[in-house]
Amino acid sequence: MLDVGRFRVKTCDGVTRRSFLRIGASMPLAWGLPAFTATARASESIRAKSVVFIWLWGGPSHIDTFDPKPNAPSEYRGPLAPISTRVSGVQFSELLPKLAQRNNLFSVLRSNVTSEAGHPDAGNVGLTGFIANPEPAKPNFGAIVAKHRGHKGGLSPFVYVGRVPADGGRPIEGYGGGLLGKTYDPFVVSCSERGQVDIPSLKLLDELTPNRISDRKSLLVQLDNALRAAEQNPLADWEQSYQRAYGLLTNPQARNAFDLTRESSAIRSNYGQTTFGQSCLMARRLVEAGIPYIQVNWSECLAAFETNGDFGWDTHIYNFEMLQDRHCPIFDRALSVFLDELDQRGLLETTLVVVMGEFGRTPKINERAARDHWIDCYCSLWAGAGLEPGRVVGESDRLGRYPVTTPATPLMVGTTIAQLAGLNSQTRAELKVLEGGEVIDGL
């Protein structure tokens, strides 16, 4: 359900506050969103009409997922056994049986590297290709694609499904538009484990009564007043949030894109009653709506631990317990269904799916029987957009410590995404983005 705005109302229990619009199962069935279809700027060079970047915040262990080392000493290989996949000669961890039977749909890159060992700094590099300092921050890969495609219709071209990543209260500086400006910040939406949808910017419209939703002039006046109030606070630059909120309020078809109740209970159940599962379902709907760039965030890392016990894939302790009991079953189920649906609906050929975290975890198990941060080698998954699936690209050494093939940096990741999304080297140079970046040739 979507709660839009708030107003005071007197009930038998006294004065309370209610949303003036609750969008749920009673929403119109109309879809037909024309926002980012292949009309303007479409060309044969755009292999990825949509990009879904699944951000496994915290840094998953490559050895315990997609690059097992069964012949390494026990202090490296750990207690998990490798299993065969659908592709002959390729093995995954036993914790990923569903993805092991679907690796004909994607390829694994086993030679990712990065430069920063802390979450905020590595997160910034992982999402922009560059370190955050000196400021200002470089734009997120999604902001670059959004700049190229432009804003059309009632939806942003760049959507975050999940909260803005933060670590101990410190946000990732490159989460949004950066040098390109706040116009290209992501539109943020989050899903609960039962598919309830929260859009923070819609809650900015306070004291808006139900009968005023049809009065566009009155609504604009309130938006203008709220914006002027926000401008007096240097810490609250909400102009784009208000504009996008207004676009949703006045465009029922746009609102439909965020309404998971339009899906059957069977499909919603297939993804699993988890925040990540429902977020992947939301991502599939946004692909169908033609959104150019969707980033799905696993969690808020350490900041989320204080509220819901989830510190993402940052498994300095209980690595094997958390992977076995929670993370891998959720991930394996949701991503498998997501890839199946994209494939079955004919969307995978024109959608690029990239799955990764900000770094890997130490090949050698630590004294707490877990794994710490490791920047020198980790994995990513690549699917769709015409990429050849079912392959392993790149290789790590026998202990999973370092690549023995050409390393793939975050800047190369972003450049490859941009290239597939239609930004060739000339376009990137004109926009002054991803300077010095090269594509990952092996993909």
Instruction: Report if residue 212 sits inside a domain.
Output: no
Residue 336 belongs to what domain range?
47-201+257-431
Instruction: Report if residue 216 sits inside a domain.
Output: no
Instruction: Report if residue 436 sits inside a domain.
Output: no
Instruction: Report if residue 426 sits inside a domain.
Output: yes
* pLDDT (tens place) for every residue of the chain, 443 residues total: 455 455 444 444 444 444 544 444 333 222 333 344 333 344 447 999 999 999 999 999 999 999 999 999 999 999 999 999 999 999 999 999 999 999 999 999 999 999 999 998 999 999 999 998 777 789 999 999 999 998 776 678 999 998 777 666 666 788 999 999 988 999 999 888 888 888 876 665 555 444 444 455 565 566 566 555 544 543 344 455 556 666 666 677 777 888 899 999 999 999 999 999 999 999 999 999 999 999 999 964 444 444 445 568 999 999 999 999 999 999 999 999 999 999 999 999 999 999 999 999 999 999 999 999 999 999 999 999 999 999 999 999 999 999 999 999 999 999 999 999 999 999 999 999 999 999 999 99
In this prediction, residue 330 carries a pLDDT of 96
Give the contacts of 221 (CB within 8 A, at least 6 positions apart). Answer: none
In this prediction, residue 30 carries a pLDDT of 29
Instruction: Report if residue 229 sits inside a domain.
Output: no
Number of domains in the chain: 1
Cα–Cα distances in Å, from 238 out to 7, 233, 244, 406?
Answer: 20, 10, 10, 43
In this prediction, residue 257 carries a pLDDT of 86
Tell me the CATH number at 195.
3.40.720.10
Instruction: Report if residue 100 sits inside a domain.
Output: yes
In this prediction, residue 250 carries a pLDDT of 64
Instruction: Report if residue 244 sits inside a domain.
Output: no
Q: pTM (2 decimals)?
A: 0.84
Instruction: Report if residue 84 sits inside a domain.
Output: yes
